[in-house]
Amino acid sequence: MAIYTPTAGDVGEERKIVEVEPVENPATVPAEPVPA
Amino acid sequence: MTSNVEEQFDSRGLILGVFRGVRSFRIDPEGFLTGVVYRQRWTPGVNKAVCNRSVYQIPYYAYGATGYEPPMLPEDHGLDVCRHGFYAYGDDSNDYHQPGFVSGVIAGWGKEVSIGSRGFRCMRAAIVALCVSEVRITERERTELVPINYPEARLFDTFAEMVAAYPPDFPEV
């Protein structure tokens, strides 16, 4: 088993690729902020 | 072509919605945000990642003096064979942040999004929120242009407030 050593700027060990499809236009409808 | 080494990854699937992550930006002289490593401008609205990597693993600056233009990887090659894409991180993995850079939250999505243990890479992204007030005072003239250039981004005074309102949101691997 390879030992993973993170380096500055990478996103860590990548083990999964998925398709992510917005349900609304993320460029015009900012994600709702979390209520305080 | 999307992936040719699929077996390296645990699974693939469809997720509805967008991922959120934090990242850093440089500010160019016109007050537009650029990447930290690759200084291409981020636009308001949807940003589409492109890959400029050649089929050879040679740094781009090695070609400069010769004028040689190496063949590029196929336009639609997958994230699993290359390191391209927009990078975003969990709030404790934003290594690039330093005084003078703008921190922000982006929404990320696309046909392929690679999920890592510290963040994700994606092919489509939009700036959701920005924290320009923490940029050092000598950069103020340029930072004043940022809200004008990115009117859809919500502005915050501190990184902590921004992350509290828009916490990183992507699956664990």
Residue pair B21/B168 in contact (Cβ under 8 Å)? The answer is yes
The ipTM (two decimal places) reads: 0.74
* pLDDT reported for residue B47: 95
Quick one: closest CA in B to A30, which residue? B128
Query: What is the Cα–Cα distance from B86 to B120, expressed in whole angstroms?
Result: 8
Residue pair B85/B123 in contact (Cβ under 8 Å)? The answer is yes
* pLDDT reported for residue B1: 39
DSSP secondary structure code for residue B66 in this structure = T
In order, the DSSP letters of A1-36 are -PPP---TTS-S-EEEEEEEE-SS-TTTSPPPPPP-
Per-residue pLDDT reduced to its tens digit, A1-24? 556 565 666 888 888 999 999 988
Per-residue pLDDT reduced to its tens digit, B85-121? 999 999 877 777 777 789 999 999 999 999 999 999 9
* pLDDT reported for residue B63: 54
Which residue do the tokens 């645990």 mark?
Answer: B10
Q: Which residues of A touch B86 (CB under 8 A)?
A: none
Task: Measure CA B110 to chain center.
Answer: 13
Residue B60 has pLDDT above 70, yes or no: no
User: Can you tell me whether residue B61 is helix, strand or coil?
Assistant: helix
**What pTM was computed for the model?**
0.80
Q: Which residues of B touch A33 (CB under 8 A)?
A: 154, 165-166
Tokens of B137: 């005072």
Of the two residues B94 and A32, the one the predictor is more confident about is B94
Residue B56 has pLDDT above 60, yes or no: no
Look at B95 and A8 and tell me if their CB atoms are within 8 Å.
yes
Lowest mean pLDDT among B7-21, B28-42, B75-89: B7-21
* pLDDT reported for residue B107: 96
* pLDDT reported for residue B155: 94
Per-residue pLDDT reduced to its tens digit, B123-138? 999 999 999 887 766 6
Q: Give every CB contact of residue B66 below 8 A, 6+ residues apart in sequence.
A: none
Residue pair B51/B77 in contact (Cβ under 8 Å)? The answer is yes
